[in-house]
């Protein structure tokens, strides 16, 4: 994923939206970071934290799959949940932004 940018295609119950570009800014996210690891040939898991535009500090985790769409762009699909700062979780999908 090095040097790639992803935009949110869908996200249930989350802070990120179509204006969120994953270097993790936009939507209701003022600033944030994520760290992850590859867990299989097409699976990853992430830990993340963010500061919201309302000044809330939140952290969460997700497990997801990596795929390629019909246009050759990398896609990410996650099931995620909050660890602190909020409760609940949801599902999100992102697509690689090509220059």
| Model pLDDT for residues 9-45, shown as the tens digit of each residue | 887 777 777 777 666 567 788 888 888 899 999 999 9
DSSP string covering 14-52 = SS--TT-BTTTBBTTEEEEEEEEEEEETTEEEEEEEEEE
- Residue range(s) defining the domain that contains residue 80: 5-97
Q: Which residue has the higher pLDDT, 94 or 9?
A: 94
Encoding tokens for residue 74? 């990398």
Q: Which percentage of the chain shows pLDDT scores above 90?
A: 56
| 44-56 b/e (C-beta count within 10 Å ≥ 16 → b) | bebebbbebeeee
How many separate domains does the chain show?
A: 1
């Amino acid at each position: 994923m090095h040097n790639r940018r992803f935009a949110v295609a869908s996200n249930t119950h989350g802070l990120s939206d179509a204006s969120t570009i994953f270097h993790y800014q936009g939507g209701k996210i003022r600033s944030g970071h994520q760290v992850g690891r590859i867990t299989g040939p097409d699976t990853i898991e992430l830990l993340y934290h963010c500061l919201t535009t309302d000044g809330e500090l939140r952290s969460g985790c997700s497990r997801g799959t990596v795929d390629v769409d019909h246009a050759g762009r990398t896609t990410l699909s996650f099931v995620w949940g909050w660890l602190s700062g909020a409760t609940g979780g949801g599902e999100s999908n992102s697509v690689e932004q090509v220059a």
